[in-house]
């Protein structure tokens, strides 16, 4: 049993047909998932049936750039719903589960993001979460009047100011500002309206926000940075952090590093929940689970695998290399520095070819895959929770809906049997269920 009777926090990351790169070909997938509302209703209700903390939607503001031969054989990040619009629909068919989506600080304005997530928080009854990201693709830049993307350092500097402005806008109204008192004739108390009047290096925002203060005070802020700048931003602003360590040792180091940085920002380690990605392939026997995994791997097209590897390594150009060439030395990239370092070290130590590294990475795009029985999966999760490697996991179903059904029907009951996961929701908001404090307004502190 983990120290202090701690229980796991569990999110689920919905990649339309699933996280395995060949999931769209699988018989257990919804092949038109990206634009199928009923599909998302069904899987979100499944996650809620499993008492999971939140569903999460990644997003980009461009069709993914890739070799067209690879792109035309892939369903991931090609054409799918805008996530905040989708989450507003899902709020109407769920009651408890958190609803979290990406909105980039690179190609939005703070007022847009503050207004959309405040609205979603009210629509959902306090279940909104904002995944704060900095876009990395030049394809996105070129949809917004730029030829190239912001540099790594600039995009994190911009993101820090962006987050501060958004939080300030969320505090535009005190919680009890709206009197709506017909007898006195006062709709709101003028003393409880606050103008931000922000003027900074990247943004000038007058305010106030034209949405009342969110039910949660602030929607939960999620972040996924793993570089030095990303960890610093997470320690300062994030309340849940998605990360992708591939061993318990790497996870423990990341967990200690991030939690250790919170104090200098006036926060406590418990103010941020660390949720590594985990893609479980589960079945009632180990041999059956291995067969499931092997079947998915057999569906990967080598052209797609090579292109996914190029993307994971920072959108590098591998077109001049044969699949059976050694993994080349890479220069500086404008992507996740920690992921690039981990994979290039692996390739060097194991003397892997591009094909071998690509096939290993492509399935879940470099995220941690665990194959086994419900007991094996639960053992793994308990070990990480007990040894200060995590506060929970962001589950990455390989195939949707099939893999999510397996996890909810097989693994969650085992976690509940061990008292590692809730049997009922603790509260009505995402903050309640993650065990996060409701922030006090900057004007009332």
Tell me what pLDDT residue 144 has.
87
**Are 284 and 316 within one domain?**
no
| Whether residue 231 has pLDDT greater than 90 | yes
Does residue 317 share a domain with residue 413? no
CA-CA distance, 83 to 104, in Å (whole number)?
Answer: 12
The region of weakest confidence among 71-80, 119-128, 215-224, 244-253 is: 71-80
Average pLDDT, the chain: 92
Look at residue 202 and tell me if it is in a domain: no
Q: Are residues 275 and 317 in the same domain?
A: no
Contact 374, 282 (CB under 8 A): yes
Q: Is residue 325 part of a domain?
A: yes
Judge if 58 and 109 occupy the same domain: yes
Last residue of a domain, one of 318, 347, 362: 362
Please report the pLDDT score of residue 336 as a whole number: 59
Q: Are 339 and 223 members of one domain?
A: no
How far apart are alpha carbons 92 and 422 in whole angstroms? Answer: 23
* Residues 128 and 237 placed together within one structural domain of the fold: yes
140 and 227 part of one domain: yes
Condensed to tens digits (0 to 9), the pLDDT of residues 333-391 reads 555 566 777 788 888 889 999 988 888 887 666 679 999 999 999 999 999 999 999 99
11: domain CATH number? 3.20.20.30
Same domain assignment for residues 107 and 232: yes
Query: Pick from 335, 362, 389: which residue ends a domain?
Result: 362
> What is the torsional sign of CA 160, 164, 169, 171?
positive
| Residue 168 placed within a domain | no
Residue 310 lies in a domain: yes
Q: Identify the band that residue 148 occupies on the pLDDT scale cut at 50, 70 and 90.
A: confident
Q: Does residue 200 form part of some domain?
A: no
Listed residues 362, 388, 404: the one ending a domain: 362
The token pair at 247 is 């061993």
Q: Is residue 224 included in any domain, yes or no?
A: yes
- Say whether pLDDT at 258 is over 70: yes
How confident is the model at residue 263, as a pLDDT? 96
At 72 the pLDDT is 87
Whether 68 and 39 share a structural domain: yes
Q: Give the mean pLDDT of 102-110.
A: 93
In this predicted model, what pLDDT tens digit does every residue of 149-186 receive, in sequence order? Answer: 787 788 889 999 999 999 999 999 999 999 999 999 99
How many whole angstroms separate alpha carbon 231 and alpha carbon 435?
21
Q: What is the mean pLDDT of residues 293-320?
A: 86
Q: Does residue 424 belong to any structural domain of this protein?
A: yes
Look at residue 229 in the predicted model and tell me its pLDDT. 86
- Give the pLDDT score at 333: 58
Examine residue 313 and state whether it is found in any structural domain, yes or no.
Answer: yes
Backbone angles phi and psi of 123, in degrees to 5: -60, -40
Domain count for the chain, please give it. 2
Residues contacting 50, CB < 8 A, separation 6+: 10, 407, 408, 412
Are 260 and 308 contained in the same domain? Answer: no
Tens of pLDDT along 9-46? 999 999 999 999 899 999 999 999 999 999 999 999 99
Residues in contact with 309: Cβ distance below 8 Å, sequence separation at least 6, in sequence order: 318, 354, 357, 358, 361, 362
- Cα–Cα distance for residue pair 432/438, rounded to 1 Å: 8
Q: Is the pLDDT of residue 332 over 70?
A: no
Task: List pLDDT tens digits, range 185-212.
Answer: 999 999 999 999 999 999 999 999 999 9
Domain boundaries, position 415: 7-147+209-292+367-434
Tell me, yes or no, whether 258 and 337 share the same domain: no
In the chain, what percentage of residues exceed pLDDT 70?
96
Residue 146 in this model has a pLDDT that exceeds 60: yes
Question: Do 11 and 94 lie in a common domain?
Answer: yes
């Amino acid at each position: 049993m983990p120290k202090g009777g701690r229980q796991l926090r569990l999110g689920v990351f919905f990649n339309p047909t699933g996280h395995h790169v060949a999931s769209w070909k699988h018989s257990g997938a919804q092949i038109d998932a990206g634009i199928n509302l009923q599909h998302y209703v069904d899987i979100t209700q499944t996650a809620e049936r499993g008492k999971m903390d939140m569903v999460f939607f990644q997003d980009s503001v461009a069709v993914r750039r890739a070799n067209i031969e690879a792109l035309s054989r892939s369903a991931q990040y090609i054409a799918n719903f805008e996530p905040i619009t989708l989450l507003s629909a899902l709020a109407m068919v769920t009651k408890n589960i958190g609803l979290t989506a990406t909105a980039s600080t690179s190609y939005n304005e703070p007022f847009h993001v503050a207004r959309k997530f405040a609205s979603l928080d009210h629509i959902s009854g306090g279940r909104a979460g904002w995944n704060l990201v900095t876009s990395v693709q030049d394809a996105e830049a070129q949809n917004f009047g730029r030829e190239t993307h912001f540099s790594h350092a600039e995009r994190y500097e911009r993101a820090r100011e962006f987050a501060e402005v958004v939080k300030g806008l969320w505090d535009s109204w005190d919680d009890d500002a709206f009197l709506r008192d017909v007898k006195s004739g006062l709709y709101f108390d003028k003393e409880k309206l606050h103008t931000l009047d922000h003027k900074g290096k990247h943004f000038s925002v007058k305010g106030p926000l034209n949405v009342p203060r969110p039910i949660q005070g602030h929607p939960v802020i999620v972040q996924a940075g793993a570089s030095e700048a990303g960890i610093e931003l997470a320690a300062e602003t994030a309340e849940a952090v998605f990360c992708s360590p591939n061993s318990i040792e790497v996870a423990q180091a990341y967990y200690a590093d991030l939690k250790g940085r919170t104090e200098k920002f006036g926060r406590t380690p418990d103010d941020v929940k660390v949720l590594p990605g985990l893609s479980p392939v589960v079945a009632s026997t180990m041999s059956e689970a291995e067969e499931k995994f092997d079947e998915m791997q057999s569906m990967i097209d080598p052209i797609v695998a090579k292109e996914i590897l190029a993307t994971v390594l920072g959108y590098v150009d591998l077109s001049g290399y044969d699949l059976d060439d050694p993994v080349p030395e890479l220069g500086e990239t404008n992507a996740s520095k920690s992921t690039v370092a981990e994979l290039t070290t692996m390739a060097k130590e194991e003397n892997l070819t591009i094909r071998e590294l690509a096939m290993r990475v492509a399935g879940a795009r470099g995220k941690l895959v665990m194959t086994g029985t419900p007991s094996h999966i639960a053992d793994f999760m308990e070990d990480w929770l007990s040894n200060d490697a995590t506060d929970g996991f962001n589950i990455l179903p390989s195939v949707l809906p099939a893999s999510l059904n397996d996890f909810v029907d097989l693994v969650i009951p085992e976690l509940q049997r061990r008292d590692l996961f809730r049997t009922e929701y603790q509260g009505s908001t995402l903050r309640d269920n993650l065990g996060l404090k409701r922030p006090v307004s900057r004007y009332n502190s």
